[in-house]
Amino acid sequence: MYPSKQRQLVLRQRPTGLPTEQDIELAEGDVKPPQPGDVVIKNLYLSLDPAQRDWMNDAVSYLPPIAIGEAIRSTTLGQVVASESDALAVGDFVIGLATNAWEEYSTTPAEQLEKVDNSEFPLHYHLTILSGAMGLTPYFGMLKLGLPAPGKTVLMSAAAGGVGSIAGQIAKLHGCRVVGIAGADEKCQFICDELGFDDAINYKAVDDLTAAIAEKCPEGIDIYYDNVGGETLDAALLNLAQGARVVFCGAISTYNADGPVPGPFNYWQVLAKGASVHGQMNLKYADEYPAAIEQLKAWVRSGELKFAEHIVEGIENTVDAYRMLFTGGNKGKLIVKIADPD
């Protein structure tokens, strides 16, 4: 059972800089009736991911821009409340990777959703560490593109964030020395003391990030995991070891820029160091999602993988919360709880 009307966060205009309530409005909309093969999902948790900021622009990316007047595309965790598919039943918990939206009810083809077995872990773990941006992104980014191995030096950007904190721990689990970059002493302490990183740099407390990286990575960086782009990427490029691999997972420092953003000024270092840059696209590994999730569960179960969640309550607080991603206000994976399960 579902209502005919719902609350949605609708894109009214393309943001310049940080999204505001003028750009994204909480409005009343229809719940779309299911077609054959669809289910209606009551969303319980919304995922807040940097990539969404890119989808708000009118730009060529791996998914089309969100159209003006549409709800903000999102990964959500929810419960099936009506089903026109044999694959899912009312009451099932499901996650949809970028298939749903910031709204109370999403109507989605069942084949695009994954059923969640919530018997072992708290429900929201399935939206944070066990799936989506916080789980699968660092898993595939580090293991398929970074190729961690004992003795390698890893530099992790946005190391206290959802992706960086997990990618760094996965590198540690594979024998690497891992140095994290974060924007506060307290975050640096968190990644070293609680997550087991070897060292950390508070980029806001250093004058010369290139020199600070050189000091912490005296033999150069073998794997640079890039979540941020911009000046941090440029500083990392000047410290690459021969044959280094750059995992290009995101560029959060540039998402709110006004106008075209140039690539790194030190792009030449990719040639000078015989290095490589690998753009991350999880969809390539869709066949391996179940195995990846099993591995993540095993690491969470054993306590080898630690993580932080930042849970905001109420759909009306979503845009406010979203801005925290870019101002550094959150610690750990940011999600919004908008309803309880039936």
Nearer to a copy of itself (CB atom), residue 17 or residue 263: 263
- Tell which residue, 207, 263, 199, 211, has the closest CA to residue 235: 211
Candidates 67, 90, 149, 281; binder of a copy of itself (CB under 8 A) is: 281
Residues 74-133 that bind a copy of itself (CB under 8 A): none
Q: Least distance in Å: CB of 225 to a copy of itself?
A: 13
CB 27 within 8 A of CB 90: no
Candidates 165, 280, 318, 330; binder of a copy of itself (CB under 8 A) is: 280
How far is CA 269 from its chain centroid?
Answer: 27
Angle of CA points 307, 288, 82, to nearest 5°: 80
SS3 of 276, please? strand
Q: Decide if residue 275 touches a copy of itself (CB under 8 A).
A: yes
Residues 242-271 that bind a copy of itself (CB under 8 A): 242-243, 248-251, 254, 260-271
Q: Alpha-carbon dihedral of residues 142, 226, 169, 285, nearest 10 degrees?
A: -30
Q: Least distance in Å: CB of 60 to a copy of itself?
A: 7
Q: Decide if residue 147 touches a copy of itself (CB under 8 A).
A: no
Residues 25-64 that bind a copy of itself (CB under 8 A): 59-62
Nearer to a copy of itself (CB atom), residue 16 or residue 276: 276
- Tell which residue, 138, 167, 165, 146, has the closest CA to residue 282: 138
Nearer to a copy of itself (CB atom), residue 8 or residue 239: 239
- Tell which residue, 216, 218, 185, has the closest CA to residue 203: 185
Whole-number Å distance between alpha carbons of 222 and 243: 7
Nearer to a copy of itself (CB atom), residue 1 or residue 271: 271
- Site size toward a copy of itself (CB under 8 A) is 36
Nearer to a copy of itself (CB atom), residue 251 or residue 319: 251
Q: In 48-157, where do the E strands start and end?
A: 73-83, 93-101, 105-109, 114-116, 153-156
Q: Least distance in Å: CB of 170 to a copy of itself?
A: 19
Q: Least distance in Å: CB of 238 to a copy of itself?
A: 7
Whole-number Å distance between alpha carbons of 52 and 270: 28
Binding site for a copy of itself (CB under 8 A): 59-62, 238, 242-243, 248-251, 254, 260-281, 283-284
